[in-house]
Chain A
Amino acid sequence: MPSAYRVLPTATGPCGLDLKAVTMSTKNDPVDVIVVGLGACGGTAVKVLCEAGMKVVAFDKGPWLDAAKDFSGDEIKFVNRNYLWPDPTLYPRTLRHDEDSVAKRFQFSPTPQLVGGGTNHWAGWVPRPRESDFMLKSLHGDLPGASLADWPFRYDHLEPYLTKVEWEFGIAGIAGADKYEPFRSKGYPSPPLRPTRWGKKFYDACNKLGINAFPLPHAMVTTEHKGRKPFNHTSFWNQYGDPSGARSNTLTTFVPEAVATGNLEVRPECFVRQVKVGKDGRATGVVYIDTDGNEHEQDAGIVILTLGAIESARLLLMSRSAQHPDGLANSSGQVGKNATFHEYLFAVGLFDKEIDDPLYGWTGNYISGGSLEFYETDHDRGHMGGCIIAASQITHPVNWVFPGRPSWGDALKDADRNFFNYAMKIGLILHDLPVEKNRVDLDPTVTDTFGMPVARITHRPHPNDVAMGKWQVDKNVEILQAAGARKTVPVYLEEMTGNTCHQHGTARMGFDPKTTVLNEWCQAHDVANLFVLDGSSFPTSTGVNPTLTMMANAWRCSEYITDVYAKGREEHLAVPR
């Protein structure tokens, strides 16, 4: 029987909450510390703070899921329907490429929103940064159009914390395999995953070309570590949640460790809309909205933001007050500016089913082999800087990565039949340069489900970004050809989409309160009890995936809070030379 046209019932009218309708408001007992955003960096902060005995309340906009019960290898749910990713109706973002355009809705850098954040879905490339990453301005001076800056500390300051994260969080790798890695004080806690067949092709091609390929450090364990049982050999990895103990995810590691101290209370599915300040301009706590739309307040002695560089900047800008008229901690006017986002660029190579062996490009835990051979500046290339490259999965049948995959008909069917098991991909994380105008601010018209202004991204790549992307993608193609690819599809940079979820720079750290937002401990120059411990602080983006560096820095700064700041003292680093 034909069905009648169904109009779906809408329970509460149009999506979105009318704030005026909110009546209930409650205030909780104060705690030592509030952490807003419980992802990679928030997870690290609560572990360090709670293990040191501080009482913490942590908020996350998203749910507190149970990895073992809620995650599995469902491509439709995890890749196509935003089970982990921000729902674009509820949590839109907007994007424009220049000052004069009206920004359009676009899910720019859509990082998963739930306890564990991006460590739920990530492939988990966790290479260490290089010494040069901390001193781009000293090395290169002023590059026209870019706002290069040195970090207020150096690799050596971070090294002990990189090691702590590698061992506590669980990283698989082989010390000494990366020819270009700076000093490390300890090896890795877990051996790497075995290579895939396409990974083997990458190693062979790199060896032919004299490129140092090695198993990129991977945020997973392959053997038992701290009670974790890594049974996941499913190849459902990037963008999927992991139900086993293999993936290093703060949801299944640092957060439960912090809860076990008895010092952490997690308030999931609660949206913090404002950081409150007192008459003296210091932070006093936060205002948040629970899942039923009721508003509450929570006070604390210290407020830490770890929402990611887009949402942390947004919250600072939403937290305007008489004491902070341009947004919290923004006397420099720098909040939101100098945003960098990396971008994943790559090339796909197709092989011939009739001649070549299958590569099974859908296998593996996303990366299998990578290199930092092309990381440092080589002036012969005509641009500054460089970045990491890696061979990676072409993923699963619905969404397998073949730009140019025919959209319908025999051509689609033949392409899937002939190339799904005969394709491989090599890509890079673009080391994009900071530009002051590239920024996050509040959209003047678009609001989220809570009626709050959403983050608007204004971004145009620096010419160096485009040049570096072109050179590196062409290098990817060269390696694919050396591997025997019979067709290549290079993917170049035109405009950024935020496809890596990497976000940095919107609240730069530095020594000068006139030009930076945070000091060397990621403490706001303007607000002594406010810290921003995510990638917001990065003066430059680095050419490696940022999460290991972010987590190590969050650990370093959290330790400053517990050991120095909370004891009523103050310390400063000397300006590095």
Chain B
Amino acid sequence: MGLKASWEIVGEPVDPDSTDELFFTDHEWATVEAATARIIPTDADPGAREARVVVFIDRYLSGIDFIFAAADGSGFLKMTGRFADAWRDRQTRMQHTYRQGLAALDESTQASFGRDFVELSESEQDRALELFSGAPKPTKVTLGSSEAVTTFLQGTFDEGMGFFTALCLHTRQGFYCDPVYGGNKNHMGWEFIGFPGPKSLKDTMDGTYDTHDYFEPTYDWDELIPHLKANPA
């Protein structure tokens, strides 16, 4: 069956401009493109549509060929054995989640607006997402307050996640991922948020990518730590 340590590198980075549909139908593609454009909308800065989030999601849902990029971003890892089986099962379930979720979204907009989601105006789409998700559109963060929450696990895995929550997560992933996965075209998500990310994954492996310019430029431990200054070794 092969060891995880010897997974081969196959394929190549995803082309963000591709219009080939590996999983979605034309209508689903258009619906996902429109919905993700409401999750991360285009304003003075690019949004999910320009960053090709729909390509990212289509490739992710297509099977298990685009799950783990090769470390250097030259292609993707070909999973084997029980890992491949687990991912295949999981992706089959996520395909159902999307297929049913997208159909339910149209059913919901047909009931409320008499049209499919893609035929609505942007403000109608926002309203449709509120109705569909059962929660109001998130309000803007304001300063001058404190809002408590309770503890949670680090990282976010999508196993068992419902459609709309998964769509929001996958939109963020597609907007901010390394471009090898098909989203974040030309690093436009990173540029938007102000993250000077690496040109390529390979640059994070050999010392090429260096972020020390963003650290504190000058420092003196004795100044930062008065106790050290007062008690020299």
Chain A residues with a Cβ under 8 A of chain B: 1-3, 5-12, 14-15, 17, 62-66, 68-77, 79-83, 85, 87-90, 107, 110, 174-177, 179, 187, 192, 194-197, 199-200, 203, 207, 212-215, 231-236, 239, 243-244, 268-269, 291-292, 343-345, 350, 352, 358, 360, 362-364, 369, 396-399, 403-404, 406-421, 449, 477, 486-499
The reply to whether A177 and B198 form a contact with Cβ atoms under 8 Å apart is no
Pick from A406, A421, A492: contact of B141, CB under 8 Å: A406
Give Cα A487–Cα B81 distance, bound, in whole angstroms.
48
What residues on A are CB-neighbors of B27 within 8 Å?
2
What residues on A are CB-neighbors of B5 within 8 Å?
63-66, 70, 268-269
In the complex, residue of chain B having the shortest beta-carbon distance to the beta carbon of A481: B146
The reply to whether B195 and A396 form a contact with Cβ atoms under 8 Å apart is yes
Distance to closest chain A CB from B102 (angstroms): 12
Given contacts A2-B26, A177-B221, A419-B141, contact A492 B92 (CB under 8 A): no
The reply to whether B143 and A214 form a contact with Cβ atoms under 8 Å apart is no
The 6 sampled A-B contact pairs (Cβ below 8 Å) are A63-B4, A65-B5, A177-B225, A233-B212, A236-B204, A497-B151
In the complex, residue of chain B having the shortest beta-carbon distance to the beta carbon of A238: B154
B18 within 8 A of A: no
B145 within 8 A of A: yes
Q: Which of B67, B86, B88, B175 has the largest number of chain A CB atoms within 10 A?
A: B86
Pick from A195, A486, A494: contact of B150, CB under 8 Å: A494
Given contacts A80-B173, A239-B154, A397-B189, contact A234 B24 (CB under 8 A): no
8 closest Cβ contacts across the A-B interface?
A406-B138, A73-B204, A397-B176, A231-B207, A2-B25, A63-B4, A63-B5, A494-B150
The reply to whether B23 and A3 form a contact with Cβ atoms under 8 Å apart is yes
What residues on B are CB-neighbors of A416 within 8 Å?
192-193
Pick from A8, A364, A420, A493: contact of B194, CB under 8 Å: A420
Question: Which residues of chain B (140-155) have a CB below 8 Å from chain A?
Answer: 140-155
Q: Which of A75, A291, A418, A496 has the largest number of chain B CB atoms within 10 A?
A: A291
Give Cα A132–Cα B69 distance, bound, in whole angstroms.
47
Question: Which residues of chain B (214-233) have a CB below 8 Å from chain A?
Answer: 214-216, 219, 221, 224-228, 231, 233
Pick from B47, B142, B202, B219: contact of A194, CB under 8 Å: B219
The reply to whether A449 and B193 form a contact with Cβ atoms under 8 Å apart is no
B17 within 8 A of A: no
B13 within 8 A of A: no
What residues on B are CB-neighbors of A397 within 8 Å?
172, 175-176, 189-190, 193, 195, 197
Give Cα A2–Cα B58 distance, bound, in whole angstroms.
12
The reply to whether A363 and B215 form a contact with Cβ atoms under 8 Å apart is yes
In the complex, residue of chain A having the shortest beta-carbon distance to the beta carbon of B204: A73
The reply to whether A8 and B88 form a contact with Cβ atoms under 8 Å apart is yes
Distance to closest chain B CB from A538 (angstroms): 21
What residues on A are CB-neighbors of B120 within 8 Å?
none
B104 within 8 A of A: no
Give Cα A179–Cα B212 distance, bound, in whole angstroms.
28
B113 within 8 A of A: no
B115 within 8 A of A: no
B118 within 8 A of A: no
B62 within 8 A of A: yes
The reply to whether B71 and A71 form a contact with Cβ atoms under 8 Å apart is yes
Q: Which of B25, B192, B221 has the largest number of chain A CB atoms within 10 A?
A: B221
Pick from A2, A17, A195, A493: contact of B21, CB under 8 Å: A2
B124 within 8 A of A: no
Give Cα A195–Cα B225 distance, bound, in whole angstroms.
12
A-contact 0/1 string along B115-145, CB 8 Å cutoff: 0000000000010010000000111111111
B91 within 8 A of A: yes
Given A83-B68, A350-B141, A492-B150; 8 other pairs, CB 8 A cutoff:
A1-B21, A17-B82, A69-B71, A76-B69, A175-B233, A200-B219, A343-B151, A413-B45
A-contact 0/1 string along B152-183, CB 8 Å cutoff: 11111111000001001001110111101100
The reply to whether A403 and B143 form a contact with Cβ atoms under 8 Å apart is no
Give Cα A269–Cα B214 distance, bound, in whole angstroms.
40
What residues on B are CB-neighbors of A11 within 8 Å?
84-85, 88
Give Cα A363–Cα B210 distance, bound, in whole angstroms.
10
Question: Which residues of chain B (79-122) have a CB below 8 Å from chain A?
Answer: 81-92, 95, 99
Distance to closest chain A CB from B49 (angstroms): 13
What residues on B are CB-neighbors of A79 within 8 Å?
154-156
**Do most interface residues of chain A lie in helix, strand or loop, or is the interface mixed?**
loop
What residues on B are CB-neighbors of A187 within 8 Å?
233
Give Cα A177–Cα B140 distance, bound, in whole angstroms.
42
The reply to whether B138 and A412 form a contact with Cβ atoms under 8 Å apart is yes
Distance to closest chain B CB from A391 (angstroms): 12
Give Cα A497–Cα B219 distance, bound, in whole angstroms.
37
Pick from A82, A406, A491, A498: contact of B140, CB under 8 Å: A406
Pick from A87, A107, A231: contact of B83, CB under 8 Å: A87
A-contact 0/1 string along B2-35, CB 8 Å cutoff: 1111000000000000000111111100000000
Pick from B173, B195, B228: contact of A76, CB under 8 Å: B173
The reply to whether A74 and B151 form a contact with Cβ atoms under 8 Å apart is no
Given contacts A3-B22, A88-B157, A409-B126, contact A72 B72 (CB under 8 A): yes
Q: Which of B5, B23, B72, B202 has the largest number of chain A CB atoms within 10 A?
A: B5
What residues on A are CB-neighbors of B195 within 8 Å?
362, 396-397, 420
Give Cα A409–Cα B224 distance, bound, in whole angstroms.
41
Give Cα A35–Cα B53 distance, bound, in whole angstroms.
46
Distance to closest chain A CB from B117 (angstroms): 14
What residues on B are CB-neighbors of A487 within 8 Å?
141-147
Give Cα A358–Cα B213 distance, bound, in whole angstroms.
13
What residues on B are CB-neighbors of A362 within 8 Å?
195
Give Cα A477–Cα B85 distance, bound, in whole angstroms.
45
What residues on B are CB-neighbors of A235 within 8 Å?
211, 214
The reply to whether B147 and A70 form a contact with Cβ atoms under 8 Å apart is no
Give Cα A12–Cα B85 distance, bound, in whole angstroms.
7
Pick from A236, A239, A491: contact of B155, CB under 8 Å: A239
Give Cα A366–Cα B151 distance, bound, in whole angstroms.
19
In the complex, residue of chain A having the shortest beta-carbon distance to the beta carbon of B28: A2
Pick from A5, A350, A449, A489: contact of B99, CB under 8 Å: A5
Pick from B82, B141, B155: contact of A90, CB under 8 Å: B82
In the complex, residue of chain A having the shortest beta-carbon distance to the beta carbon of B88: A8
The reply to whether A411 and B23 form a contact with Cβ atoms under 8 Å apart is no
What residues on B are CB-neighbors of A77 within 8 Å?
68-69
What residues on A are CB-neighbors of B149 within 8 Å?
403-404, 489-492
The reply to whether A177 and B151 form a contact with Cβ atoms under 8 Å apart is no
In the complex, residue of chain B having the shortest beta-carbon distance to the beta carbon of A76: B177
Give Cα A160–Cα B40 distance, bound, in whole angstroms.
55
Give Cα A233–Cα B87 distance, bound, in whole angstroms.
33
In the complex, residue of chain A having the shortest beta-carbon distance to the beta carbon of B22: A3
Pick from B126, B168, B211: contact of A407, CB under 8 Å: B168
